[in-house]
Amino acid sequence: MKRYRWKLLMPDEQMVSHLSGAINVSTPLSRALCNRGIATFDEAKDFFRPSIHQLPSPFLFKDMLRAVDRVADALEKREKIMLYGDYDVDGTTGTALLYLFLQERGAEVSYYINDRFTEGYGLSREGIETAVARNTGLIITVDCGIRAEEQILLCNDHGIDVIICDHHEPHELPPAYAILNPKLGDCSYPFRELCGCGVAFRFIQAIAEQLDTGMESWQKYFDLVAIATAADMVVLEKENRTYVREGLQRIRTSPRSSLAQMLGIMNVDADMMSMFTIAFGIAPRINAAGRMESATLAVKWLLSDSVEDSQQHAGELEQLNALRRKIDAEIFIQAEKMIAGHFASYCSSIVLYDEEWHLGVLGIVASKMLEKYYLPTVIMGNMNGLVKGSVRSVDGLNIYEVLQECGEYLEQFGGHNQAAGITLRPENLAGFRKRFDEICRDLQPVELRQKEVLIDSVLALEDVTDKFMNVLAEFAPYGYGNREPLFVSDQVLLQGRPRLLKERHVKFSVRDKHDRIFDVIGFDRRDIYEDLAASNTPVVAMVYSLEKRSWNNREHWQIRLKDLSITQDQPWKE
């Protein structure tokens, strides 16, 4: 049975044909490019060959010159600088980037990262008191600060200037010394979608240019901004694409000590570094520090430059991530046991609570429940007598608007259209659960209850060639805003019987009309194995991506299955 609604994208065929001829690629690849808004030779060139020489000047940021002059003054006067970072990947990498760069300039620099549970997000009173105790004259925030009006007023009262490096949407601007944020209404910087570390990266470039320290003094941090850009789910287009490509290449060829030791623990060769490695390897280990203990551990690892220190801190993060996986797996199992009882009363959402659940992994569990059941999901635990939880939504349903409708039951909430955090009193839990389900039912059409998968083109397996695969590889890196191209093939001939790997994954082979055999792997698709094993049909339709795999120094192509249908009818909508 299909898990998804198949939607075949239909770009303008004249545009597809023109692009195909202009850059000499096959029609399916031209369709995939047009589906990404790329329709001309120059646009394709910029997409496939992003260059650091195309980066806009960092001095286009409002307040950049003022911020650079303030740092230069602090360096000259040996004034103490404290970096104030968020506890996620974006904040910790940005903090490390600024720390290393300023330290090389001779700065008296320290850093501070909030405790996720006792201080929460943003500048805290405890953090400001720490800055005062350190005799700090200048605070530079990373990935926070744009809404910290009260806290920055407090800094001003203590004679501490604040430079904000942030990328979140501003409201009333705080009275900071300088604000670096591409989303400011009067900021002339041409690209809005930087992460917080990306803003910090442009900041050190501007400082480097002002102090004439050379291009390598800032370009050597492409690796850190690549990790933050990949992990923070910002749009992978334009300069973000440049950061990730440049950063991945640096890691592949000359990884810094901290990354080299972490990759060793992960059993990943540096030259195989990819977006997948960041998203499912490095980022979870960095985030585990803040989720399970203190994000300061992640910064220590990022700053370590000796093999001994790098190994020690990478090992600590590995242990915390193993603990995180154990705890979120346990909570997921417990949540699964509660589902049947929940669905007896509510069928348009999932809202589950246990006072013993660890707050640091609730978002992970909510995402897993969403992936399995594809319903708006709230997973909650308890802290200091209050119910706190993480919310995840399906495509097309703005969860922030849903929570606004539930405001009478909530103490506070914040987030965006797909994810949020909430706090409420225990006595309001039942009312919230009922109201949340009612709103989701009313706003969620039936067609939204099965996830849609977007298909770039119909593809005959006979058209998969070396050239096709080489061009396809240039679409990477993949991520938010640049999903991996998906293709659909029907009337595909099965070869042999399917196998079940590790009780979770389906593997089988298909044959094209030239009798070439393709291996097919479907991760976490035991359901497809069961469907194929129970069916006698030799022909299927499938949605998939294509990848090159290496084994025993030999490359081969593999089909990574997204979904499968055994119906003889056309299984997709145009």
Judge if 240 and 364 occupy the same domain.
Answer: no
Average pLDDT over residues 210-223: 96
Same-domain pairing of 170 and 282: yes
Residue 294 maps to a domain = yes
Domain finish residue from 448, 476, 491? 448
- 334 within a domain of the structure (yes/no): no
Average pLDDT of the chain is 93
User: What is the model's pLDDT at position 400?
Assistant: 87
DSSP string, 219-253: HTTHHHHHHHHHHTT---STHHHHHHHHHHHHHHH
Identify the pLDDT of residue 169. 84
127 is a domain residue: yes
Q: What is the pLDDT of residue 414?
A: 78
Whether the predicted pLDDT of 445 surpasses 90: no
User: Is 389 in the same domain as 480?
Assistant: no
Last residue of a domain, one of 409, 424, 448: 448
Question: pLDDT (tens digit, 9 = 90+) per residue, 131-165?
Answer: 999 999 999 999 999 989 999 999 999 999 999 99
The answer on 233 and 208 residing in a single domain is: yes
Peptide bond into 477 cis (omega under 30): yes
What residue numbers bound the domain in which 166 lies?
Answer: 58-314
**DSSP, res 335:** H
Q: Is the pLDDT of residue 389 over 90?
A: yes
CATH of the domain at 432: 3.10.310.30
390 and 258 inside one domain? no
Euclidean distance between CA atoms 35 and 401, whole angstroms = 29
- Mean pLDDT within 544-568: 84
* pLDDT tens for each residue of 291-314: 999 999 999 999 998 999 999 999
pLDDT of 344 reads 84
Structurally, the chain folds into a number of domains equal to 3
228 within a domain of the structure (yes/no): yes
Residue 405 lies in a domain: yes
The HSE-up count of residue 473 (CA atoms within 13 Å, CB side) is 13
The verdict on 367 and 226 lying in the same domain is no
Share of the chain above pLDDT 70, in %: 98
Please give the pLDDT value at position 446: 74
**Do residue 426 and residue 464 come from a single domain?**
no
Bridge partners (DSSP) listed for residue 540: 492
Q: Tell me if 322 is assigned to some domain.
A: no
- Evaluate whether residue 46 is within a structural domain: no
CATH code assigned at 234: 3.90.1640.30
**Identity of residue 514:** H
Residue in 416, 482, 364, 367 with CA at minimum distance from that of residue 168: 416
44, 165 Cβ separation under 8 angstroms: no
Element (H, E) at 329: helix 307-343
For the chain, how many residues are written? 574
What is the band of 175 on the pLDDT scale with cuts at 50, 70, 90?
very high
Indicate if 507 and 479 belong to the same structural domain: yes
Confidence label for 556 from pLDDT (cuts 50, 70 and 90): confident
- Among 16, 40, 15, smallest CA distance to 27 is for 16
pLDDT of residue 571: 63
With a cut of 70, say whether residue 530 has pLDDT above it.
Answer: yes
> If we measure between CA atoms, which residue out of 272, 279, 187, 274 comes closest to residue 234?
279
In the predicted structure, residue 34 carries a pLDDT above the cut 90: yes
- Domain end position, chosen among 448, 470, 486: 448
Please tell me what DSSP assigns to residue 359. G
Contact 289, 313 (CB under 8 A): no
Burial 271-287 (b: 16+ CB within 10 A, else e): eebbbebbbebbbbbbb
**What pLDDT is attached to residue 566?**
87
The pLDDT of residue 570 = 60
Confidence of residue 434 (pLDDT cuts 50, 70, 90): very high
- The verdict on residue 33 lying in a domain is no
On whether both 141 and 193 belong to a single domain, the answer is yes
Asked if 404 and 529 sit in the same domain, the reply is no
**233-280 confidence digits (pLDDT tens):** 888 989 999 999 999 999 999 999 999 999 999 999 998 899 989 999
d(Cα 66, Cα 72) in Å, to the nearest integer?
10
> Amino acid identity of 377?
T
Express each pLDDT in 496-513 by its tens digit.
899 999 999 999 999 999
Phi, psi of 258 (to 5 degrees): -60, -45
Average pLDDT over residues 342-364: 92
Please identify which residue in the block is written with the tokens 């993060």.
317
Of residues 371 and 111, more confidently modeled: 111
SS3 294: coil
Residue 44: predicted pLDDT:
95
DSSP annotation string for 146-188: TT-HHHHHHHHHTT-EEEEE--SPPSSPP--SEEE-TTSTT--
pLDDT value at residue 573: 64
Where do we find the tokens 């009882």?
Answer: 341
Same domain, 438 and 468: no
Query: Mean pLDDT, to the nearest integer, of 223-231?
Result: 95
Give the per-residue pLDDT at 318. Answer: 97
The pLDDT value given to residue 345 = 86
Q: What confidence score (pLDDT) does residue 572 get?
A: 59
pLDDT score recorded for residue 294: 94
pLDDT of res. 574: 58
Instruction: Summarize the confidence of residues 330-339 as an average pLDDT.
Output: 94
User: What CATH number should be reported for the domain holding residue 537?
Assistant: 2.40.50.460
Residue type, 161: D
* pLDDT band, very low/low/confident/very high, at 568 (cuts 50, 70, 90): low
* Residues 414, 494 within the same domain: no
